[in-house]
Structure 1
Amino acid sequence: MRLPILYALSALLFLSGAPCIAQTEETANPTANPAPATPVPVPAKDAVFTQEQLDQMLAPIALYPDPLLAQVLMATTYPGEVAEAVTWSKASPDAKGDDAVKQVANQPWDPSVQALVAFPQVLATLGQDPVWVQRLGDAFLAQPDDVMEGVQRLRHQAQAAGNLQSNQYQNVTIQNVAAPAPAPAPTTTASAPPPASSSSTIIIQPADPQVVYVPTYNPTTTYGTWPYPASPPAYYPPPPAYYPGQALIAGLAFGTGVAIIGALWGQCDWGNNDVDINVNRYNNINGNNRITNNSWQHNPVHRNGVPYRDTRSREQYGRQLDGANQREAYRGDNAQRAQARDRARSSMDKHGIERPATSNLEARDRAREAQARDSGNRLQAGADRPKAADRSRATDRPQAADRSQGTTRNTRENQTSRKETAQVNQRAQGNAQARQTTQNRTAAKTASQGSARDNAFAGARSPSQANLQASRGRASEASVQRPSASRSAGQQISRPSTPPARQRGGRR
């Protein structure tokens, strides 16, 4: 009897404790029945430009008509081709409208760039600052939502300042367009209020769909008080030739209109913050490049090597060129060539030859190392120059001493030879003088002898001289014989101490 009673009690205890055990297990292991996972939010796109920078670069074009604004935003993503279009427009100033677009149909430009040649005044503005053009295109590729919101923000500021309104050149309308759905927030907190620009959208369209008037204005005054004093907007005035007899209306100037039919095929989609394409107008003007999709897509082929500014754009567009997956085949890079390359490298290692660089980074590193070694060798050579100079000086000292002794010896010999030569010359001169003196004496002696020998005939030759000599002798003899008292005392002669002044004439 006891055993059945014990079995019954054990069953009761087990049945009563099972729910408690199950509850305890669920509490201890909460992952046994997990709740549905919360979807992971998509990481937001990194901001390349701030709102201040966007407003600064969008201010010169924010008040363009929507079709022209869409065309400019698409074209600026190809800054190199825009520069070529600017050059072409300067060389063809009379080309505009659809005719100009047809003239550049054979140019290797994107259709959005070809469409801009219809408006030479716009290209004249874009050509004044290529850096601004590239930054504007980079902003539209990296932050299309921020760019479109920035345009609306600037249009609201211009309207509040009284500088944006409808007229005979354009129609300005305000529509309530729902903003794009924001990305799910990572937390369950209340969502932030939508921006002010999402409540109303300002749309600018040409008053005549087939005639577009491009406005020109000064961004520093058209938008009222600029909210960023440290970053004022740039003003690119177009050449006056495109605005003859301009009409100034509420801060905007309008020149001659451009007649178009198919040149403008883009349109701003403010609901999705992107650009749509009018397929019919596009195909009418671009017969050789027809499309069927009305969504604009950036074509990296027309980027022409201009680097993208942000990492995401580089990853999205940098490796999508046509035929990129076939480059290795075009280069002849196959298994046989790889094996031959490996054998060549092994042979170079075997013979102690340095392998060539396999990448640009490795080549730059080797070049830097070589430059460092060269600079070190130059420094060492510079340090060894004084030693080498000392050694050369020490080597040249005996030679210099020998040269100096030889020079001194030669100088002494030259001086001795010069002295001897001078003495010889003096002796020769003395001998010549002695011979001349002897000759003179001999001549004088011979003359005296001849004159003495000829005295007997002197009186016959010159009687007057003979009488004079005879009279002189007599006078002398008579004077000697007279007494001293009777001798003539002579005559006194008085001369003035200073010579008399000249009567006539002057100084020579």
Structure 2
Amino acid sequence: MRNPAPPMLAAAILLAMVPGPGTTPAWAAPQASASAQPASSGTFSVEQLDQMMAPVALYPDSLLAQVLMASTYPGDVADAVKWSAAHKDAKGEDAVKQVADQPWDPSVQSLVAFPQLLAVLGQDPAWVQKMGDAFLAQPDAVMASVQRLRKQAEAAGNLKSNEQQKVSSQPAAATATQPATQTIVIESADPEVVYVPSYNPSVVYGSWAYPGYPPYYYPPPAYYYPGGALLSFGIGVAVGGALWGDLDWGHGDIDIDIDRYNEINTNRQIDRSSDKWNHNAANRDGVPYRDNASREKYARQNSGAANRDAYRGRDGTQARDADRDRARQSMERSGLQAPAASNAEARQRAGQASRDMGPEQRARTQGSTANARSQGGASNTRAQQDARQRANTGTASRQNNSFSGAGNPAQSRAASSRGHSSYSASQRPAGARSGGAPMSRPSPPRGGGGGRRR
């Protein structure tokens, strides 16, 4: 057994462990940077949330609500970005009506009213997906991040009311963990016209608190913001019923204006009880969820196919038809020819293929067809002769029954071997039977419809 340290030596060791003024004890060092670490697997830290929310935190509340809802469907957003780029003149409520038949979530359809916004979201699909994952897993933390950023911009003198927007503060009730604070609300000066602000987050928020997590910045095309000011608004967009969501700051939720929603989404009506948004897992398009809680929650929702069809207001037949149409479109985008939708279309394709053939190829094809027919005719003739012979003799009919071959084991084994070989060949992959490569199939199609989050 070792001797204990002398009393004076032990005192010196304890004194060395006590931090001096302005220093941090060794055991407290990991805690000082703990906020930079996600609270749990798949969630985001304060620094990460402020970093990703910086480009959109100064949007009007109604527009920010649509962005947060839509970002939970990153695949649909990517499709909307492509559509908007191909329809540069489409904007406002008219643009939303043009995509009414697209299989996107209604929150994504609303974003086509703002081509300048989609031009920003299209620059980094990974950022859009992270923003949606954060809102699904940490809605309260996302809204707290937006309020932090707005207060920073206000303190820096870069968030004020003007001709395009109205900035106001509303008291927020105290909670068990948070004292009473002020909530900054941003509204459009004209409810029927929305201006999408453009700004550089590295400047508009003043001194950035997290050097290790600089704010994201995606400058929009100069076409939409010719001024180039620190905080510019470009051209206003007459939205009509395109925006139907609003942030509920007191509950970390999104309220749905039922009348405006039903006015613009005529083929996806919702009832009066659906005044809170709920994420619709059917529109996720197979994109995985970031955290375990979201995966478990929305995997269960996605299994209720019957409930989804009822919510969309269409029966199973209509849903299958829409799914087939989306599958055909996906195959065409992948360079594959979708199957014919009818016998008439199949005959039309065959006729077109024949017309597209050259003379030599057509001659070879016709020769092969004639040869196959002659062989088929010969086979039919032999089959007819055998049938007549069996009918005349009657012997074959007596032997060709359930006990045929019982007196000849060798014959039974031979027949069994032939059947087993035929069955094995039929079970091999198509590529193994024909020597060809397997065909690449498209991803499962998306569902349509909106939803609300509880």
Contact 1:47 1:143 in 2 (8 A): no
2:240 to 261, 277, 288: 261
1:310 corresponds to which residue? 291
Residue of structure 1 equivalent to 2:396: none
Match of 1:205 in 2: 187
Picking from 141, 146, 168, the partner of 1:146 is: 141
Q: Which runs of 5+ in 1 are unaligned?
A: 1-43, 183-191, 327-350, 352-508
What pairs with 1:390-401 in structure 2 (closer than 5 Å)?
none
- What is the deviation of 1:235? 1.0
How far, CA to CA, are the matches of 2:105 and 2:281 in structure 1? 10
Match of 1:108 among 103, 119, 124: 103
Letter in 2 for 1:100: A
Q: Hey, what does 2:231 align to over in structure 1?
A: 252
Following the alignment from structure 2 to structure 1, what is the Cα–Cα distance between the partners of residues 306 and 79? 30
- Rounded to whole Å, the distance in 2 between the matches of 1:131 and 1:50 is 17
Report SS of the residue matched to 1:242.
coil
Which structure would you say has the larger Rg? 1
The 8 Å contact of residues 42 and 291 in structure 2, kept in 1 or not, is answered as no
Please give the per-residue CA displacement for 1:241-280, whole angstroms capped at 9, x wherever unaligned: 1124x374xx311100001110000100001011111111
CA 1:153–1:47: 2 relative to 1, 3 Å: farther
- 1:173 maps to a residue whose letter is S
SS of the counterpart of 1:305?
A: coil
Instruction: Kindly indicate whether the alpha-carbon contact (under 8 Å) linking 1:63 and 1:215 is maintained by their aligned counterparts in 2.
Output: yes
- Offset of residue 321 of structure 1: 1.8
Are positions 1:284 and 2:284 aligned together?
A: no
Aligned-pair CA distance for 1:95: 0.1
Structure number with the higher helix fraction is: 1
What is the match of residue 12 of structure 2? none
User: Among 70, 78, 91, which residue is 2:73 paired with?
Assistant: 78
- Structure 2 segments unaligned to the other structure (5+ residues): 1-38, 308-419, 421-454
- 1:155·1:202 contact (CA, 8 Å) conserved in 2? yes
| Matched residue SS, 2:66 | helix
Distance verdict in 2 for CA 1:74–1:291, change over 3 Å: same
Of 235, 238, 256, the residue aligned with 2:220 is 238
Instruction: Give the whole-Å Cα distance in 1 for the aligned partners of 2:42 and 2:283.
Output: 25
Which one of 19, 42, 50 corresponds to residue 45 of structure 2?
50
- Alpha-carbon distance between aligned partners in 1 of 2:73 and 2:266, rounded to the nearest angstrom: 21
Structure 1 residues 258 and 98: alpha-carbon distance in aligned structure 2, compared to 1, 3 A threshold: same
Q: Write the letter of the residue equivalent to 1:151.
A: V
Residues 308, 114 of structure 1: CA spacing in aligned structure 2 closer, same or farther, 3 A cutoff? same
Partners in 2 of 1:226 and 1:113 — Cα distance?
A: 31
Looking at structure 2, the residues matched to 287 and 60 of structure 1 have their Cα atoms a distance apart, in angstroms, of 32
Looking at structure 2, the residues matched to 149 and 273 of structure 1 have their Cα atoms a distance apart, in angstroms, of 9
Task: Say if 2:59 and 2:196, in contact at 8 Å, map to a contact too.
Answer: yes
Query: Which of residues 81, 87, 91 is equivalent to 1:92?
Result: 87
Q: Distance in 2 between matches of 1:159 and 1:323?
A: 46
Q: Is the 8 A contact 1:247 1:255 kept in 2?
A: no
1:55-454 map, 5 Å: 55-178=50-173, 181-182=175-176, 192=177, 194=178, 198-244=180-226, 246=227, 248=229, 251-292=230-271, 293-323=274-304
Given the superposition, is the C-alpha separation of residues 159 and 122 from structure 1 closer, same or farther in structure 2, using an over 3 Å criterion?
same
Instruction: Render the CA deviation track for 1:72-98: whole Å, top value 9, x for unaligned.
Output: 000000000000000000000100000
Paired amino acid for 2:253: D
Deviation at 1:319, TM superposition (A): 2.3
Closer/same/farther in 2, CA of residues 247 and 168 from structure 1, 3 Å limit:
farther
Query: Residue 241 of structure 1 aligns to a residue in which SS?
Result: coil
- State the TM-score, normalized to the length of structure 1: 0.51
**Contact (CA 8 Å) 2:57, 2:149: kept in 1 or not?**
yes
Q: Secondary structure at the match of 2:223?
A: helix
Contact 1:49/1:139 (<8 A) preserved: yes
Q: What is the RMSD computed on CA atoms of the aligned residues?
A: 2.1
Distance 1:270 1:297 in 2: 16
After TM superposition, the runs of 4+ consecutive aligned structure 1 residues lying more than 2 A away are 44-47, 322-326
Deviations 1:349-373 (A, max 9, x none): xx9xxxxxxxxxxxxxxxxxxxxxx
Greater relative CO, 1 or 2 (CA 8 Å, sep 6+): 2
Q: Distance in 2 between matches of 1:110 and 1:325?
A: 18
Q: For the residues of structure 1 that align with 2:126 and 2:199, how far apart are their CA atoms?
A: 21
Contact 2:42 2:292 in 1 (8 A): no
What are the superposed Cα offsets for residues 372-424 of structure 1, whole Å, 9 maximum, x if unpaired? xxxxxxxxxxxxxxxxxxxxxxxxxxxxxxxxxxxxxxxxxxxxxxxxxxxxx
Alignment of structure 1 residues 10-25 onto 2, 5 Å:
none
1:318, 1:308 → 2: CA distance?
Answer: 9
Name which of structure 1's ranges 251-260 and 65-74 shifts more when overlaid on structure 2: 251-260
Q: Structure 2 vs 1, CA of residues 220 and 69 (structure 1 numbering), >3 Å: closer, same or farther?
A: same
Residue 45 of structure 1, CA deviation:
7.9
What is the alpha-carbon distance in structure 2 between the residues aligned to residue 46 and residue 176 of structure 1? 33
CA offsets 1:4-24 (integer angstroms, 9 cap, x no match)? xxxxxxxxxxxxxxxxxxxxx
Give the count of matched residue pairs. Answer: 269
Offset at residue 231 of structure 1 (A): 1.0
